Amino acid sequence: MPQTPPASTPAFSRARFKRDVLLCAIINTLVGTFFALQGSPIVRAMVTTHTIGFTVLAVTLTAMWLIKPSQNREIYVYFGAVVAGTMLGLGINFSMRFTREELEWALEEPRHLFRILGLFMVVAGMITIFLYSRIRAARLEAAFHAEQSLAAAQARQLAEAQLKMLQAQIEPHFLFNTLANVQSLIDIAPAEAKRMLMYFNDYLRASLARSRDEHGTLKQECDLLRAYLSILQIRMADRLRFRIDCPAELQDIEFAPMLLQPLVENAICHGLEPKLDGGEIKITARREAGLLKLSVRDNGLGLGKSQGGSGLGLANVQERLTAIYGPAGQLALYENQPVGVIAEITLPCTNPPP
C-alpha cells in the first residue's frame, strides 16, 4: 500500500526561487521608498534595504537547504538565519557606503544607529514572514499532490482488484460450460465441437493478450467479444444472433479490459437466455463530441422483467469507469424499443497512438 511521504522542506524549485527573488526586490523597494519619504536620501535608503533584504534571503534559503530542519525546529532556524543575515547585511552595507567621517558622525548621534537598526529589523522581519509563508505554502502544496498521488494509486489498485473479481466471476463458469459443451458435441456433432474449440482457442488467445497488455485497444476488446459470442452462438444455436460494429478509425483507441464483456454477459444471462426464442445482441462504437460511446443492445426480456437481479458486474463496471476515467466515465441503462435493454458506456476518446 503506498504511503504518504512525510512533510519536509520542499525541494529547490528554480521557478519558486525566481518568484522569491522578485518579491524580495519588491518588498525592499517598498520599504526603501517608505524611509525615503521620511527624509532619508533615496539612494541610501534603497541600497540599505536591498542589501539587508537580499542578504537575509540568501542566508535563510542557504540555512534551510543545508540544515533541513524538522517542522518543530524550523522557526528557530529561521530566527537564527534572519539574525545572521541581518548582521551580515549590516556589515556589507557599512563597508559599501560608510566612510570614516560618516561612521564617526553616526556614533556621535546614536539615534541614527537605532534608526538604521530599526530599518534593518523591519526589512528582515518582512523577509522572514514572507519566506516562512512561502515554505509553508509550498509544503502544503506538496502534501496535497502527495495525497492526490496516493488517491490515484489506490484508485488504480481498486480498479485492478475489481477487474480480477470480474474475471473470477465470468471466466470459470464460462470455461467449464464451454468444455462441457465441447465434450457433449464430440459424439453427436464433431464438426460443431471442432468449431467451438476453434472459437474457444481464439477466446483464450484474446483473453491472454488483454490480461498481459496494460493499455489494450478497442479492437482487442471486440476480438475477445467476437470469440466469446461465437462460442455462445454454438451453445444457443439459432436463439442467439450478434453484430459488432466498430469503425476502423476507432479500433486503435486505448480501452481498458473487462468493461464491455460484463454488459454482454448481463444481456445474455438476464435478457436472451430466459427468453424462449432468444434474440440479438448488437455492439456499436461511435465518436460523439470528443467522447467515445459504446452500446450493447439486446432485444431480450427488458428491464425489470428478467429473473436474478440487476445483472452481473454492472455496479463494478461503473466503479471501474469512475476509477479510470473520473466523472467522464459513465454507464447508463435504457429501455430498447420495442423490447430489450441498451447498456451504454461513455468515456473520453483517447486518440490512437501515432
| Residue 271 DSSP label | I
Lowest-confidence segment of 12-26, 93-107, 254-268, 293-307 by average pLDDT = 93-107
- Same domain as 328, residue 266: yes
Distances, alpha carbon 60 to alpha carbons 15, 56, 211, in Å: 18, 6, 53
- Same domain as 197, residue 123: no
Best mean pLDDT range from 10-19, 79-88, 322-331 = 322-331
Provide the 10 A C-beta neighbour count for residue 181. Answer: 18
Which of the listed residues 87, 119, 148 is the one where a domain comes to its end? Answer: 148
Predicted local confidence at residue 226, as pLDDT: 92
What percent of the chain clears pLDDT 70, i.e. is strictly above it? 73
- Same domain as 38, residue 112: yes
The answer to whether residue 139 is domain-embedded is yes
Predicted local confidence at residue 119, as pLDDT: 64
Residues in the chain: 354
Q: In terms of residue numbers, what domain contains 261?
A: 189-348
The answer to whether residue 180 is domain-embedded is no
Which of the listed residues 90, 115, 148 is the one where a domain comes to its end? Answer: 148
What's the one-letter identity of residue 257? P
- Same domain as 143, residue 194: no
The answer to whether residue 297 is domain-embedded is yes
The answer to whether residue 112 is domain-embedded is yes
- Same domain as 268, residue 133: no
Going by C-alpha positions, the residue among 172, 238, 168, 232 that lies closest to residue 200 is 232
The answer to whether residue 4 is domain-embedded is no
- Same domain as 314, residue 263: yes
The answer to whether residue 3 is domain-embedded is no
Going by C-alpha positions, the residue among 282, 296, 279 that lies closest to residue 240 is 279
Q: In angstroms, how far is the first alpha carbon of the chain from the final one?
A: 35
- Same domain as 340, residue 193: yes
The answer to whether residue 279 is domain-embedded is yes
C-beta pairs of 220-224 under 8 Å, 24+ apart in sequence: 220/255, 221/255, 221/257, 221/259, 221/260, 221/261, 222/246, 222/251, 222/283, 222/285, 224/261
Number of domains in the chain: 2
Going by C-alpha positions, the residue among 77, 57, 73 that lies closest to residue 124 is 57
- Cα 273 to Cα 281: distance, rounded to the nearest angstrom: 12
- Cα 243 to Cα 282: distance, rounded to the nearest angstrom: 5
- Same domain as 217, residue 335: yes
The answer to whether residue 162 is domain-embedded is no
- Same domain as 227, residue 305: yes
Residue 331 pLDDT greater than 90, yes or no: yes
Structure confidence by residue, pLDDT tens digits, 337-351: 888 999 999 998 865
Mean pLDDT on 85-96: 74
Predicted local confidence at residue 6, as pLDDT: 42
- Same domain as 201, residue 138: no
Question: Which CATH number do you get for residue 316?
Answer: 3.30.565.10
Distances, alpha carbon 81 to alpha carbons 21, 78, 257, 269, in Å: 17, 5, 56, 72
- Cα 97 to Cα 304: distance, rounded to the nearest angstrom: 90
- Same domain as 210, residue 124: no
Structure confidence by residue, pLDDT tens digits, 17-31: 787 788 888 888 887
Which of the listed residues 116, 131, 148 is the one where a domain comes to its end? Answer: 148
- Same domain as 125, residue 266: no
